[in-house]
Amino acid sequence: MDPSFEPASHAATPAMQALDIDEVPALEIGEGCTRRDLPAAPGVRFWVVEMAPGAQWPVVDHHETGESYYVISGEVIEGEARHGAGTYVYFAPDSRHRPHTQTGVRLIGMNLGDAAFLAAGGSPESIVHCYHPTQG
């Protein structure tokens, strides 16, 4: 996220930042797939992913430290499983997935950076350093 970005419609203090997610610049990840990186504490990554109807994530994501997301609207498909609005999905460390959607989807996700993952007791064996810029 652009460090100079601060939405005009919300006040910020050193201890708090509030923003309209739709004002955060969207990064195009692949055809019909965007990601909006949100501010978070050091070692934690938060983002919003939007996928257009019929879109598929451009690569198989490998999440060394795991990943979690909550489906805000629409439906995301992981393998044969369909996850609609209101569903929380968790992937274990060292997992892989390649989501797609027929209806379109908006979700909010998070994962830990390597140092935060290890500090929380995560296994060093799951970290193989193959981060790809499309990972959410």
pLDDT per residue as tens digits for the range 9-20:
455 567 888 999
* Within-domain flag for 17: no
* Within-domain flag for 43: yes
Buried/exposed code over 56-80 (b: 16+ C-beta within 10 A; e: otherwise): ebeeebbbbbbbebebbebbbbeee
* CATH at residue 88: 2.60.120.10
pLDDT digits (tens, 9 = 90+) for 75-89: 999 999 999 999 999
* Within-domain flag for 9: no
So what's the pLDDT on residue 11?
A: 55
So what's the pLDDT on residue 13?
A: 63
So what's the pLDDT on residue 99?
A: 96
- CA distance to 10, 11, 13, 95, per residue, from 16 (Å): 11, 9, 5, 33
For residue 67, the enclosing domain spans: 27-126
* Within-domain flag for 132: no
* Within-domain flag for 87: yes
* Within-domain flag for 53: yes
So what's the pLDDT on residue 81?
A: 96
So what's the pLDDT on residue 2?
A: 47
pLDDT < 70 stretches in the chain: 1-13, 116-117, 126-136
So what's the pLDDT on residue 33?
A: 98
pTM across the whole model: 0.78
So what's the pLDDT on residue 127?
A: 65
So what's the pLDDT on residue 87?
A: 98
* Within-domain flag for 133: no
So what's the pLDDT on residue 14?
A: 72
Number of structural domains in the chain: 1
* Within-domain flag for 77: yes
